[in-house]
């Protein structure tokens, strides 16, 4: 074959975007699809075949030339994360759209020497330009050495990629080069050279291609958090096959997408095809270099904080040396806000010099004062008669950040016509020096609560007075699980409406277990709580046990266990809520501590405690809620409760003289309204004795 040698080539640089990572779509553009501009300089003036000295064949041969694809089996994508970290960052936004493109040699300038610039340019012209068209008689695919390809499937890939270059077609140089781009864009070839050969039958166009190597191994560097299984699965289908750059581009997109979905600062920084079919994949992960706390005032200016920085830092799950995660950072912000002493919190990641790491600055705005006075009110569900007897007023003096360590002190008083509670409570949410997030709470309380749930008096009111002091320790021991252990001392006794101690009720049933005016007990407390997602209506499980310790001979000894569970299920636009509670007491316990069944948080349709007063009990509820309009929801429900026949075993059998049935059910309808205090519930229910009752409650059922 006679190859044209009258054309020389020069190359210049253009920008060829390799890939970008948009905000939402993880699809990476193909790196080979680029605008390759052909600059034809001093295009020759060819003789026309019907005129003297005109030769279009020679003209076309002078315009085709070979060129090497810019990849040359190696490419280096820009490190998107590190480029991102060189710019100011808005908290919790990740903008990767400004990654710098790769510089590649991809344009060709053609020129021919010894041409007569004054000769006329002839040939068939295109509709939109002045390029000449020349007839091609044959199109072949060969290796870079001019031999036939050993693999026919690769030859088919080339032929399938051709759009304009067909036998017996008139082509321009631009159309040939566009087909060269399509061949490279198939991903199987690292170079493609179009060669025009003048034969007796016309011009033969030969595409000399060099296939990529076969994939025989992978080396991955820098992937500390990316699962090895993920990388292996991504490349597994390619072993023993020709490397397809398009497929590698898709793998890069999936790896970068894995990091973005998890909010991690990581991305593929380079990919290289080595000799022997080995692919070297380098991943850059931005590790946390340092975490600093910066106190700001409400105007955004730096100020001196009252909280110790170490008190805030120990709340963070993000630690030095970890790959920074924006999702984890958001959880840390929520955790610091939940301390109750900060008005605003944000995390700003910044590049740590040229180390490839990231420094985190947490900006915090403290509340104006850690302490204060508050007042409020409420309703007691244990009050069943009188228009105002259920109302409770309250006031409190508190400090939420003692010694700058987030320790809390609260002195509160609640007072109603029947109820009264005075409480001193000190809480250290995280004991200093403990690595298990153990909290400590010390409590002293003097209270009076209605005794009508168990011992309602026809001739007047009855209250239960309690003096309580104790200490409790609590810590999370598994995700969503929390445990509490403590020791509580309690002295409790009954009083009449005049405040005088009494030991028997209207029906001569005992009001204390010891026979004295009060009962003393030292209780060891254990409690386990599962909170699910924490959203309203999510799964909840609570189990607690109290054990009376016989420190003194007249102190009560008993064991009380209680459990409750709640499960929410979505049924299209509706929501099903199932709840269950139950308990049992063994030993000598005060009668007023019996389980009261019936009421707003038990079996609706009955008054508080009207179903039973028992040593054992079970209560179940099913409720379906559905949206009505705005924050208002409707609900239908059914409740059932039983004392399991244990009512007579309570000391004095307070349920028997009061003719409590021991079991009952109720069903009804209600509405729910979202409020800052939780769902406001207004319900009307019928019980199995065909009587109806309105119920009002705040929050979900216990």
376 — pLDDT class (breaks 50, 70, 90): confident
For position 63, what pLDDT does the model report? 45
List, for residues 327-343, the tens digit of each pLDDT value.
Answer: 999 999 999 999 989 99
Among 122-136, 451-465, 625-639, name the most confident range. Answer: 625-639
62 — pLDDT class (breaks 50, 70, 90): very low
Q: Convert 181-202 to b/e letters by CB count within 10 Å (16 or more is b).
A: bbbbbbbbbbbbbbbbbbeeeb
8 Å CB contact between 606 and 687: yes
CA distances from 514 to 33, 331, 503 (A): 90, 51, 10
State the average pLDDT over residues 607-634.
Answer: 94
List, for residues 94-120, the tens digit of each pLDDT value.
Answer: 222 333 222 222 222 222 223 233 333
pLDDT of 52 higher than 70? no
Q: Which of 294, 356, 353, 287 is nearest to 325 (CA)?
A: 287
CA distance 245 to 252: 10
CA distances from 127 to 131, 133, 623 (A): 9, 11, 74
Instruction: Please report how many Cα atoms fall inside a 13 Å half-sphere around the Cα of residue 340, on the Cβ side.
Output: 13
CA distance 453 to 416: 17
Helix (H) or strand (E) holding 422: strand 420-428
481 — pLDDT class (breaks 50, 70, 90): very high
Complete DSSP assignment for 107-130: EEEEE-SS--TTSPP-SEEPSSS-
Instruction: Please report how many Cα atoms fall inside a 13 Å half-sphere around the Cα of residue 96, on the Cβ side.
Output: 27
Q: Which of 94-108, 237-251, 410-424, 459-473 has the lowest mean pLDDT?
A: 94-108
pLDDT of 449 higher than 70? yes
For position 130, what pLDDT does the model report? 62
CA distances from 424 to 399, 402, 464, 471, 481 (A): 12, 15, 19, 12, 27
For position 699, what pLDDT does the model report? 80
413 — pLDDT class (breaks 50, 70, 90): very high
List, for residues 655-683, the tens digit of each pLDDT value.
Answer: 999 999 999 999 999 999 988 777 899 99
State the average pLDDT over residues 345-371.
Answer: 90
State the average pLDDT over residues 344-360.
Answer: 91
381 — pLDDT class (breaks 50, 70, 90): low
State the average pLDDT over residues 22-37.
Answer: 29
* Residues of the chain above pLDDT 90, percent: 60
List, for residues 521-534, the tens digit of each pLDDT value.
Answer: 999 999 999 998 76
State the average pLDDT over residues 512-527.
Answer: 95
3-state secondary structure of 530: strand
pLDDT of 36 higher than 90? no
For position 54, what pLDDT does the model report? 37
For position 547, what pLDDT does the model report? 98
pLDDT of 311 higher than 90? yes
CB atoms inside a 10 Å sphere around CB 98: 10
Q: Which of 387-396, 518-527, 617-626, 656-665 has the lowest mean pLDDT?
A: 387-396
pLDDT averaged over every residue in the chain: 80
688 — pLDDT class (breaks 50, 70, 90): very high
pLDDT of 469 higher than 90? yes
For position 39, what pLDDT does the model report? 26
For position 497, what pLDDT does the model report? 82
pLDDT of 125 higher than 80? no
CB atoms inside a 10 Å sphere around CB 452: 21
Q: Which residue has the higher pLDDT, 83 or 48?
A: 83
pLDDT of 6 higher than 90? no
State the average pLDDT over residues 76-91.
Answer: 35
Q: pTM of the prediction? A: 0.67
For position 537, what pLDDT does the model report? 66
Q: Dig out the tokens for 169 from the structure.
A: 């077609």
389 — pLDDT class (breaks 50, 70, 90): low
For position 610, what pLDDT does the model report? 95
CA distances from 556 to 293, 485, 623 (A): 52, 20, 39
Q: Which of 568, 577, 574, 571 is nearest to 633 (CA)?
A: 574
Three-state SS for 137-168 is EEEEEEECCCCCCCCHHHHHHHHHHCCCCCCC
205 — pLDDT class (breaks 50, 70, 90): very high
pLDDT of 635 higher than 80? yes
* Residues of the chain above pLDDT 70, percent: 79
For position 534, what pLDDT does the model report? 65
Q: Which of 154-158, 486-490, 614-618 has the lowest mean pLDDT?
A: 154-158
State the average pLDDT over residues 508-526.
Answer: 94
pLDDT of 536 higher than 90? no
């Amino acid at each position: 074959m006679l190859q044209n040698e009258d054309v020389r080539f020069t190359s210049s640089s253009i920008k060829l975007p390799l890939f970008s990572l948009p905000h939402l779509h993880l699809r990476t553009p193909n790196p080979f699809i680029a605008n390759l501009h052909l600059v034809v300089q001093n295009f020759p003036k060819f003789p026309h075949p019907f005129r003297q000295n005109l030769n279009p064949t020679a003209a076309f041969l002078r315009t085709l030339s070979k060129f090497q694809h810019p990849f040359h089996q190696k490419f280096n994508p820009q490190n998107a994360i590190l480029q991102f970290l060189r710019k100011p960052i808005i908290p919790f936004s990740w903008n990767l759209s400004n990654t710098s493109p790769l510089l590649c040699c991809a344009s060709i300038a053609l020129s021919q020497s010894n041409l007569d610039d004054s000769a006329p340019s002839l040939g068939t012209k295109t509709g939109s330009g002045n390029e000449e068209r020349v007839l091609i008689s044959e199109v072949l695919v060969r290796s870079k050495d001019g031999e036939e390809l050993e693999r026919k499937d690769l030859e088919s890939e080339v032929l399938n990629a051709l759009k304009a270059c067909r036998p017996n077609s008139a082509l321009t140089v631009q159309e040939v080069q566009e087909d060269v781009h399509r061949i490279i864009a198939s991903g199987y070839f690292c170079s493609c050279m179009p060669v025009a050969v003048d034969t007796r039958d016309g011009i033969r166009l030969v595409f000399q291609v060099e296939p990529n190597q076969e994939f025989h191994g992978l080396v991955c560097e820098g992937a500390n958090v990316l699962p090895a299984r993920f990388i292996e699965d991504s490349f597994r289908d390619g072993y023993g096959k020709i490397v397809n750059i398009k497929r590698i581009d898709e793998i890069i997109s999936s790896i970068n997408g894995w990091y973005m979905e998890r909010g991690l600062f990581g991305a593929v920084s380079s990919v290289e095809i080595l000799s022997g079919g080995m692919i070297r994949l380098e991943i850059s992960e931005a590790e946390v270099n340092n975490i600093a706390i910066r106190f700001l005032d409400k105007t955004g200016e730096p100020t001196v904080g009252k909280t110790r920085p170490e008190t805030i830092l120990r709340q963070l799950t993000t630690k030095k040396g970890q790959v920074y995660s924006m999702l984890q950072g958001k959880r840390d912000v929520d955790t610091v806000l939940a301390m109750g002493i900060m008005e605003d919190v944000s995390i700003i990641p910044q590049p740590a010099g040229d180390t490839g790491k990231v420094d985190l600055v947490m900006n915090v705005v403290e509340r104006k004062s850690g302490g204060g006075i508050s007042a409020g009110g409420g309703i007691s569900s244990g009050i069943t008669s009188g228009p105002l007897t259920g109302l409770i007023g309250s006031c409190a003096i508190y400090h939420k950040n003692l010694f700058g360590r987030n320790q809390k002190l609260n002195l509160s008083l609640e007072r109603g016509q029947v109820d009264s509670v005075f409480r001193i409570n000190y809480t250290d949410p995280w004991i200093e020096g403990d690595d298990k997030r153990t909290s400590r709470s010390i409590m002293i309380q003097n209270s009076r609560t209605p005794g009508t749930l168990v011992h309602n008096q026809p001739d007047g009111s009855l209250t239960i007075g309690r003096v309580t002091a104790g200490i409790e320790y609590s810590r999370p021991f598994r995700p969503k699980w929390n445990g509490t252990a403590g020791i509580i001392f309690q002295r409790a006794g009954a009083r009449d409406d005049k405040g005088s101690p009494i030991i028997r009720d209207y029906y001569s049933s005992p009001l204390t277990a010891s026979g004295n005016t009060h009962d003393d007990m030292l209780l060891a407390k254990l409690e386990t709580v599962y909170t699910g997602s924490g959203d309203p209506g999510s799964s909840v499980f609570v189990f607690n046990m109290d054990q009376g310790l016989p420190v003194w001979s007249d102190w009560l000894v008993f064991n009380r266990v209680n459990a409750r569970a709640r499960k929410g299920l979505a049924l299209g636009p509706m929501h099903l809520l199932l709840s269950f509670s139950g308990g049992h007491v063994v030993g000598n316990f005060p009668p007023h501590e019996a389980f009261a069944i019936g009421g707003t948080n038990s079996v609706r349709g009955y008054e508080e405690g009207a179903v039973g007063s028992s040593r054992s009990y079970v209560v179940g509820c099913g409720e379906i809620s559905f949206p009505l309009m705005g924050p208002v929801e409707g609900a239908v429900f059914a409740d059932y409760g039983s004392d399991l026949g244990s009512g007579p075993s309570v000391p004095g059998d307070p349920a028997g003289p009061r003719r409590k049935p021991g079991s009952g059910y109720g069903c009804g309808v209600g509405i729910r309204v979202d409020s800052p205090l939780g769902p406001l519930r207004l319900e009307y229910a019928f019980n199995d004795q065909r009587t109806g009752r309105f119920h009002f409650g705040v929050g979900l059922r216990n």
